[in-house]
Amino acid sequence: MNFFKYKAGTFNHGIHPPEMKDDTKGLPIRQFPFSPMIVLPLAQHIGAPSEPVVKEGDVVARGQLVAKANGYMSVPLHAPVSGKVKKIDYVPSISGKKNMGIYIESFPSSSQEVIEGHAIDLANASPGEILSGIQQAGIVGLGGAAFPTHVKLSIPEGKTCKYLIINGVECEPYLTTDHRVMLEQHEDIFMGLRYLIKALNPQKVYIGIEDNKRDAFEKLEQYKPLDLAVEMVLLPVKYPQGAEKMLVTAITGLEVPSGKLPIEVGAVVINVATTAEIGRLLPHGRGIQERVITITGPGIAKKGNYLITIGTPLRFILEQVSGENIKEVFMGGPMMGVSVSNLDIPITKGTSGIVAFKPQQSLENQSEYACIRCGACLDACPLSLNPSQLGILAKNEAYDLMASDHHLLDCFECGSCSYVCPSNIPLVQYFRVSKSIVRKRQAKAKS
Amino acid sequence: MKDQTLQIRTSPHLKRPLATNTIMLHVVLSLIPVMAFAVYAFGITALFLISTTTIACVGTEYVLNGKVKGKQNIKDWSAVLTGVLLALTLPPGFPLWMAFVGGMIAIALGKFVFGGLGQNLFNPALVGRAMLQAAFPVAITTWTETLVNGRFSHIIPSSLTIPFLEPIKADAVSGATPLSAFKFDKISTDVQDLAFGFTSGSLGETCAFLIVLGGVYLGFRKMLNWRIPVGILGTVATLTGILFYLDPVKYPSPLMMLFSGGLMLGAVYMATDMVSSPLSTIGIWIYSFVIGLLVVLIRIWGGLPEGVMYAILFGNALAPILDKSIPHRIYGMSSKNQNKNRA
Ligand code: SF4
Ligand code: SF4
């Protein structure tokens, strides 16, 4: 083993779930067929939903702006296909919340040529122009959080960006999206990096990659432009290393204070696929229309890494890849992904993977036992919280105590504690519910 | 494809394949060699004793936790484990009716009154054993020789004592344990005999070697916290090593200390009960050290030849205090806020 090759440290605790990436990690990214109907939710990012600028019956060309950003904490939407706006109506969403969205009937025979907007010239653009270019391109974190990237890149006053960390960790089992992007899109990644460096002017730039993607690590190392001061960091495999805070700690050794963002310690973390998207879109002034998604799991016959149009309904996708005997399908990885109940929901900018399980993989029949105080959850929690105690308090509905004395609100629902618990206690589920109750109470207390 | 058949679960959708009932079952399985050896050494009486306590424990659990509390958890194997462990702490000729009472007490007082599995402060098997020691001090210190002839065809007579009637017949009794022999008569026992079980003692006190084997298996399967036996045995070995070095005549050798009495069984199977040991790793180390220290204190300076049971019960009582008082570092907390992070 090349144990001594790891230059970085690590974070405390964490787990080692089975990686399950072998089925798709060797498969090159392929273009997915266009769906006859595209469903574009106006809220596919964190922040204010976009505002439609088209109306029913309008003909839109691929890449045309169809909804503009509603304020700073928002991004615009572009037509992912050429077609006709069928209606602007409620769209099904994964959370069950009612959201508005734009339905576009795609023209099957059109050339699907892309409309381009205002290009951002790397050499002459100011940091502010780059940020607004990123916003105009509709770019959000593609790792799953879908947080508007330009907001993340705006350094609050009084802070400076010391470390720019490109996140190529992809610690979720099954997913190979970022892996393939790193193998196939190194030019875009380094171009994106140039924009990011220009916008942030960081002191150090890192690309962090886990050891199970050594080929990607070597590829980027090999193609790294000589004039770009980037340090490639090979990290030992451990979940949840891809979580921002954990990655900052693994690479810089600094701890992000509780309740704060990585910029508190001078770090900005950007997903590697997001970086590639910036490098691809900004020089042409395009908007984001498609993304790479790993479609995998035992319930999928044609597993692979596909370039899929944003807004493609899940039902269409599963038909194309011959999903069969599916008991459970979720968007994202198996550790933090969300189960889908309605196949009409479309994929969005934040969808990094679609994993389908057959009944054999389903966990529904596990019986729950009492907490036997085995301590496994304590040894798993990357934040060193006490999930055992939190779980007991949640059962007793002592939510305020959980927040005040046991740091409930720091929990980022990584699922490590539930994963290891031998008594099958749904710890994360408790914490999710408890957090939302505490948040509601706090909001009430404020108003 | 039909949406209706889709199942909604919250994440994570993966799970480590190690469940509580599996852990308990494997602990019981790992004790099979120890039980088999007990039957070999003491004959069918041992088999009856183990069955009696196990039936008593499982039955009590079934009635109390299942019927009274309405939460049946027989399938988690924890009651079986308690029964087996209790039997292993008893002398071979222990009256079966007393053993049955002990099993009932173990579950009722050791577990049920605390609120069932996971809430018990003490190791239930040790609670049962402690109660038996208090109630029947003579029977519980009446030892039998190992490997007696006819042990497979005859039950040790004292086992069949009728409840509340006869006191134990003195003529059924022989064989002092190695610890009492040393403590009161300064007779050392050959360590080889101790390790391989050819000494008198409780059912599971005899063959230290097999107990270590079971512990190693569980440790590798991550079903047992290896720090506890290592901590306890390490403490005992170090402390008695120092004493033995100072005065080899007055103090027993560390090897004899390690392999005699209930120390091995206690360190590997009793103190490691997850429920009644601390949660945090630092807590585990302190807990193990305290138990080891107490074992040495009681054995060498106390009035009893054996102190493992009390040492572990004391450690159990200490566990929640350790969990509460050891501050542990939470990610991203300034040191100012750290002291609020008690477990
Ligand atoms: S879900 Fe929360 S409590 Fe559980 S391991 Fe992750 S951060 Fe810790
Ligand atoms: S992992 Fe489960 S059983 Fe073990 S201490 Fe945590 S909550 Fe309790």
List, for residues A29-56, the tens digit of each pLDDT value.
999 998 999 999 999 888 899 999 999 9
Let me know whether A249 and A106 are in one domain. no
Structure token pair of residue B32: 């099979």
| Cβ pair B10:A370 closer than 8 A | no
pLDDT score of B217 more than 60: yes
Q: Which residues pair with B270 in a beta bridge?
A: none
| Cβ pair B13:A334 closer than 8 A | yes
Q: Mean pLDDT, to the nearest integer, of B98-116?
A: 89
Task: Measure B319 CA to nearest chain A CA, in Å.
Answer: 11
Contact status of B333 with chain A (Cβ, < 8 Å):
yes
Determine which helix (DSSP H) or strand (DSSP E) holds B321, and give its type and residue range: helix B308-325
Q: Mean pLDDT, to the nearest integer, of B281-287?
A: 92
B65 or A141, which is more confident: A141
pLDDT score of B155 more than 90: no
pLDDT score of B298 more than 60: yes
Instruction: Let me know: does B86 contact B129? Beta carbons within 8 Å.
Output: yes
pLDDT score of A6 more than 80: no
Let me know whether A160 and A219 are in one domain. yes
Let me know whether A106 and A159 are in one domain. no
Domain span including residue A132: 127-284
Whether A19 is covered by a domain: the verdict is: no
| Cβ pair B334:A366 closer than 8 A | no
Per-residue pLDDT, A202: 93
Per-residue pLDDT, A12: 87
Backbone torsions φ then ψ of B216, nearest 5 degrees: -65, -40
B243 or B257, which is more confident: B243
Per-residue pLDDT, B252: 83
B178 or A354, which is more confident: A354
Let me know whether A131 and A262 are in one domain. yes
Confidence band of B174 (pLDDT split at 50, 70, 90): very low
pLDDT > 90 in chain A, percent: 62
Other C-beta atoms within 10 Å of B333: how many?
Answer: 20
Structural domain total, chain A: 3
Alpha-carbon span A74 to B131, nearest angstrom: 69
Per-residue pLDDT, A239: 92
Let me know whether A335 and A220 are in one domain. no
Instruction: Give the pLDDT confidence of A368-413 residue by residue, as tens digits.
Output: 888 888 889 999 999 999 999 999 999 888 888 888 888 899 999 9
Q: Mean pLDDT, to the nearest integer, of A202-214?
A: 93
Task: Measure B35 CA to nearest chain A CA, in Å.
Answer: 25
B24 or A97, which is more confident: B24
pLDDT score of A237 more than 50: yes
Alpha-carbon span A317 to A33, nearest angstrom: 9
Confidence band of A109 (pLDDT split at 50, 70, 90): low
Q: Mean pLDDT, to the nearest integer, of B63-80?
A: 78
Residues 143-182 of B with CB under 8 A from A: none
| Cβ pair A419:B12 closer than 8 A | yes
Let me know whether A252 and A139 are in one domain. yes
Alpha-carbon span B293 to B120, nearest angstrom: 24
pLDDT score of B120 more than 90: no
Count helices and strands in chain B by DSSP H and E runs: 15, 0
Weakest-pLDDT range from A86-100, A314-328, B62-76, B298-312: B62-76
Q: Mean pLDDT, to the nearest integer, of B40-55?
A: 90
Per-residue pLDDT, B141: 74
What lies within 8 Å, CB to CB, of B246 at 6+ separation is: none
Question: A269, A284, A299 — which closes off a domain?
Answer: A284
| Cβ pair A369:B281 closer than 8 A | no
Let me know whether A205 and A255 are in one domain. yes
Q: Which pTM value belongs to this model?
A: 0.87
Q: ipTM, 2 decimals?
A: 0.83
For the ranges A95-99, B221-225, B303-307, the one whose mean pLDDT is highest: B221-225
Whether A119 is covered by a domain: the verdict is: no
pLDDT score of A3 more than 50: no
Give me the sheet containing A30-31, strands edge to edge: A30-31, A304-309, A290-296, A353-357, A328-331, A338-339
Find chain A residues with C-beta within 8 A of B18's C-beta: 420, 422
Alpha-carbon span A211 to A232, nearest angstrom: 12
pLDDT > 70 in chain A, percent: 97
Q: Mean pLDDT, to the nearest integer, of B331-336?
A: 69
Alpha-carbon span B178 to B146, nearest angstrom: 13
Weakest-pLDDT range from A187-191, A358-362, B88-92, B203-207: B203-207
Instruction: Let me know: does B91 contact B143? Beta carbons within 8 Å.
Output: yes
Whether A168 is covered by a domain: the verdict is: yes
Ligand 2 centre distance from Cα of residue B222 (Å): 14
Per-residue pLDDT, B170: 44
Per-residue pLDDT, B215: 93
Per-residue pLDDT, A256: 92
Instruction: Give the pLDDT confidence of A243-264 residue by residue, as tens digits.
Output: 999 999 999 999 999 888 999 9
Question: A284, A304, A327 — which closes off a domain?
Answer: A284
Q: Mean pLDDT, to the nearest integer, of A261-287?
A: 92
pLDDT score of B183 more than 70: no
b/e sequence A371-392, b meaning 16+ C-beta within 10 Å: bbbbbbbbbbbbbbbbbbbbbb
Let me know whether A300 and A271 are in one domain. no
Whether A221 is covered by a domain: the verdict is: yes
pLDDT score of B341 more than 60: no
pLDDT score of A130 more than 60: yes
Whether A327 is covered by a domain: the verdict is: yes
Confidence band of B184 (pLDDT split at 50, 70, 90): low
Let me know whether A328 and A224 are in one domain. no
Comparing alpha-carbon positions, the chain B residue that sits nearest to A259 is B332
Residues with CB under 6 A from ligand 1: A 380-381, 383, 385, 387, 411-417, 427-428, 431
CATH at A279: 3.40.50.11540
Question: A253, A269, A284 — which closes off a domain?
Answer: A284
Secondary structure of residue B185 in the 3-state scheme: helix
Whether A366 is covered by a domain: the verdict is: no
pLDDT score of A176 more than 90: yes
B191 or B46, which is more confident: B46
Instruction: Give the pLDDT confidence of A436-446 residue by residue, as tens digits.
Output: 999 999 888 87
pLDDT score of A206 more than 90: yes
Alpha-carbon span B149 to B151, nearest angstrom: 5
Weakest-pLDDT range from A15-24, A306-315, B4-13, B213-222: B4-13
Ligand 2 centre distance from Cα of residue A423 (Å): 6
Helix axes A177-184, A186-200, angle to 10 degrees: 90
pLDDT score of A447 more than 80: no
pLDDT score of B343 more than 50: no
Contact status of B246 with chain A (Cβ, < 8 Å):
no
Q: Ligand 1 pocket: which of A12, A239, A392, A427 to mutate (most atoms <8 Å of CB)?
A: A427
Helix residue ranges, H only, A104-184: 127-136, 149-153, 177-184
B11 or B66, which is more confident: B11
Let me know whether A141 and A271 are in one domain. yes
CATH at A309: 3.10.20.600
Confidence band of B128 (pLDDT split at 50, 70, 90): very high
Task: Measure A232 CA to nearest chain B CA, in Å.
Answer: 25
Let me know whether A62 and A81 are in one domain. yes
Task: Measure A307 CA to nearest chain B CA, in Å.
Answer: 23
Let me know whether A339 and A398 are in one domain. no
pLDDT score of B340 more than 50: no
Mean pLDDT of chain B: 82
